[in-house]
Amino acid sequence: MIWLGVLACAVGCYALKVAGLSVPASVLERPLVQRIADLLPVALLAALIAVQVFSGDGRSLTVDARLAGLGAAVVALLLRAPFLVVVVASALTAALIRLAG
Amino acid sequence: MPTPDPPLDPAERRRIVSDSIAVSVATGAYGISFGAIGVSSGLDVLQTCALSLLVFTGASQFAFVGVIAAGGAPLLGAASGLLLGVRNTLYGLRLAPLLDWHGARRTAAAHLVIDESTAMSVTRDSTAAARVGFLTTGLGVFSLWNLSTLIGALAGDALGDPRDYGLDSAVGGAFLALLWPRLNTPTARLTAILAAVLATVLVPLTPAGIPVLAAGVVALGLGLRGRDGTGADS
């Protein structure tokens, strides 16, 4: 079933790319379309972070080493670290806390 | 390749190519983290590599594996990935007149429409320069992203329990790094906060995958609110 998801995501994402190159530019010039399209990735990424950090086993919320990992990512971003450094800092922090705990 | 512009100055071409290669190397490298996170989320190496080859847009791929890792249905993962892929449509709208490709070329070029290839071409002032930036970055990222995904997936597979290495935490860090540069307006920050709160509240109440999709409603609501000029950048 994972393959079905992979293929659906692939076909859909490619269709979205083709649509952009093919649709008349006037669609983009509507400010409402532009605003929603700008905010959509913001909302989704923020939600993904929340789910990723707080969801426990099954349908539950937990606070654990992942929150510290997220904190480390914030610090790295404030220091203008590149993507890979942010990801590694986050992983390393969570790993060290689990090792200590 | 025919172009209506005068030929590109060789020095400018070299500069665009070297800038594009630098971006490709930096972006391609984090395919390693995608590969490792993919296999630790419950996908096999082939599925993880298929995402990089066929979906080829980083945030959507991370979203897909994020939903799978949380125990969500693969089709919900695909839906989350699609919502994040909407921005590529907007990139395409901006790129189409600049790149000026039609037919089979346009169909092929579409697969390379991503954050980085757009950034490296949309600011150029001629079609020839835009095409060099788009193709060098697009093909550069595509090659390195897929190669590093494979390396990360194979390494991640050999590591054992991904939690020991904090790989579950790495996903949150990766999303935050993708989100960070987008938090540049008050509306964007408000959207992020409301979306995160809504998703957290929904985690215990709904099946995995739904909280993220529901957050899309926040973007819709705040986007609509900006219509009368009171919202968007106040």
Asked if the model's pLDDT at residue B191 lies above 60, the reply is yes
State residue B5's pLDDT score. Answer: 58
Mean predicted confidence (pLDDT) in A13-42: 85
- Report whether pLDDT(A24) > 80: no
Q: Which two tokens stand for residue A76?
A: 């790295």
| DSSP per-residue codes, A4-27 | HHHHHHHHHHHHHHHHHHHS-GGG
CB contact under 8 A, B56 and A13: yes
Q: What is the dihedral of CA B158, B46, B165, B162, to 10 degrees?
A: -90
Which of B65-69, B190-194, B213-217 has maximum average pLDDT?
A: B190-194
- Over residues B158-172, the mean pLDDT reads 78
Nearest chain B residue to A101, by CA: B164
* Mean pLDDT score of chain B: 87
Model pLDDT for residues B32-50, shown as the tens digit of each residue: 889 999 998 999 999 999 9
Q: Which long-range contacts (CB under 8 A, 24 or more apart) does A51-54 make?
A: A51/B66, A51/B70, A51/B199, A51/B200, A51/B203, A51/B208, A51/B211, A51/B212, A52/B66, A52/B69, A52/B70, A52/B168, A52/B171, A52/B172, A52/B175, A53/B169, A53/B172, A54/B200, A54/B203
Q: Which chain B residue has its CA at the smallest distance from A16's CA?
A: B89
Check CB contact under 8 Å for B51 and A6. Answer: yes
Q: A35, A44, A60: which to substitute to probe chain B, counting the most B Cβ within 10 Å?
A: A44
- What is the ipTM score, two decimals? 0.86
- Cβ neighbours for B204, distance < 8 A, ≥ 6 positions apart: A59, A60, A61
- Contact (CB<8Å) A45/B111: no
Question: Could you say which residues from 44 to 63 on chain A have a Cβ atom under 8 Å away from some Cβ of chain B?
Answer: 44-55, 58-61
Predicted pLDDT at B233: 44
Torsion over CA: B199, B205, B210, B213 (sign): negative
- The half-sphere exposure of B82 on its side-chain side, counting CA atoms within 13 A, is 18
Mean of pLDDT values over A57-83: 91
Rounded to two decimals, the pTM is 0.76
- For chain B, the structural domain boundaries read 10-162, 183-234
pLDDT for B4: 54
Residue B78 · residue B212 · CB < 8 Å: no
Domain boundaries, chain A: 26-100
The shortest CB-CB distance from A13 to any of B30, B82, B212 is to: B82
User: How near does any CA of chain A get to the CA of B107, in Å?
Assistant: 7
pLDDT the model gives residue B228: 42
